């Protein structure tokens, strides 16, 4: 699943290429989206958490959320696509290039003021990469927004609290901070929760440069991630077998070392909302 840093990388790629360009064609044709974009000039491209916004000179923007399988591609006009047309979500053509989004979870046309409004009114929390935020503010948001039966993993993934943390970083942050993923949110103190967000922001920023995602900055070839996707493999710190299990509100794959992350609640306590 694309993480916040992925969307920022896409925005960083698209922004200098699209801003100032006029859209000469858009697909799917004869939709609200194509009618409102064709002939318009791109004014801004920005990421907000996992959402990518492409704003136009008529006060509208295309908002896309890539979900699990979405991606943006760039092709020369008339060039063949790497994906079948049936997977098209939206395509924007400029005089030089065609920018194509496949398999997005959501694509919609939004009015630009309402984008700002939604950000201001908190449907999306502060962006861990773009915004300067105090971790104490994020802790307060987590306590206000989530119910008492939430787990720490739910707080990290909730984009209303802070936008940018995806499922890979979730497990990696918990390993680095040595918290068991099954800790109920009310059982973690403000300091510990704040550290999780600080680590998240640091990892997201360190991964903006491109290349493969890295959370383990060690001078060996043992692995770029500590725990994600490593079920039954030895922990890179202590050799204990890594565990993997779905947990939290959304039953997302979660990975942890039962030795390094043994503090807090017992690791067998999961899925409190089933
Ligand atoms: Zn370990």
State how far the Cα of 101 lies from the Cα of 14, in Å rounded to an integer.
Answer: 12
**Ligand 1 geometric centre to CA of 156 (Å):** 21
**Ligand 1 geometric centre to CA of 232 (Å):** 12
Report in angstroms the alpha-carbon separations of 128 from 109, 111, 143, 159, 239. 25, 24, 18, 10, 32
**Ligand 1 geometric centre to CA of 240 (Å):** 5
Q: Helix, strand, coil proportions of the chain in percent (round to 5)?
A: 30, 25, 50
Residues 198-252: tens digit of each pLDDT: 999 999 999 987 778 899 999 998 999 999 999 999 999 999 999 999 998 888 8
The mean pLDDT value of the chain amounts to 87
Q: Where are the alpha helices (DSSP H) in 146-249?
A: 152-157, 167-177, 190-206
- Coil, helix or strand at residue 205: helix
Say if pTM beats, i.e. exceeds, 0.75.
no
Q: In what order do the strands lie in the sheet with 98-102?
A: 25-27, 88-93, 98-102, 71-75
User: Of 15-29, 33-47, 148-162, 255-269, which gets the smallest average pLDDT?
Assistant: 255-269
Mean pLDDT of 141-155: 91
**Annotated catalytic residue 170:** no
Please tell me the predicted confidence (pLDDT) of residue 121: 54
The share of the chain scoring above pLDDT 90, in percent, equals: 59
Mean pLDDT of 260-264: 72
State how far the Cα of 233 lies from the Cα of 186, in Å rounded to an integer.
Answer: 31
**Ligand 1 geometric centre to CA of 258 (Å):** 7
**Annotated catalytic residue 252:** yes
Peptide bond into 28 cis (omega under 30): yes
**Ligand 1 geometric centre to CA of 230 (Å):** 12
Mean pLDDT of 79-93: 95
* Candidate list 143, 205, 216, 252, residue with the active-site label: 252
* Res. 58: pLDDT tops 50: yes
Cα angle 73, 159, 230 (rounded to 5 degrees) comes to: 70
Please tell me the predicted confidence (pLDDT) of residue 267: 40
């Amino acid at each position: 699943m694309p993480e916040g840093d992925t969307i920022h990388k896409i925005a960083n790629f698209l922004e200098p290429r699209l801003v100032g360009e006029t859209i000469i064609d858009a697909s799917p044709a004869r939709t609200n989206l194509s009618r409102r974009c064709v002939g318009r000039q791109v004014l801004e491209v920005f990421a907000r958490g996992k959402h990518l916004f492409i704003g136009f000179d008529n006060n509208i923007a295309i908002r896309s959320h890539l979900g699990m399988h979405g991606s943006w591609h760039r092709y020369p006009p008339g060039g063949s696509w790497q994906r079948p047309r049936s997977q098209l979500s939206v395509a924007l053509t400029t005089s030089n290039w065609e920018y194509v989004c496949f398999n997005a979870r959501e694509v919609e046309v939004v009015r630009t003021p309402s984008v700002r409004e939604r950000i201001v009114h908190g449907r999306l929390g502060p962006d861990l990469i773009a915004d300067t935020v105090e971790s104490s503010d994020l802790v307060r948001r987590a306590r206000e927004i989530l119910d008492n039966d939430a787990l720490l993993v739910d707080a990290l993934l909730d984009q209303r609290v802070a936008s940018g943390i995806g499922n890979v970083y979730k497990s990696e942050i918990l390993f680095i901070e040595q918290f068991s993923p099954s800790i109920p949110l009310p059982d973690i103190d403000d300091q510990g929760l704040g550290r999780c967000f600080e680590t998240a922001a640091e990892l997201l920023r360190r991964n903006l440069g491109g290349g493969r995602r890295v959370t383990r900055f060690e001078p060996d070839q043992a692995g770029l991630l500590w725990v994600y996707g490593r079920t039954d493999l030895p922990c890179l710190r202590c050799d204990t077998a890594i565990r993997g299990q779905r947990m939290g509100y959304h039953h997302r794959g979660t990975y942890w070392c039962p030795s390094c992350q043994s503090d807090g609640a017992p690791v067998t306590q999961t899925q409190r909302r089933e």
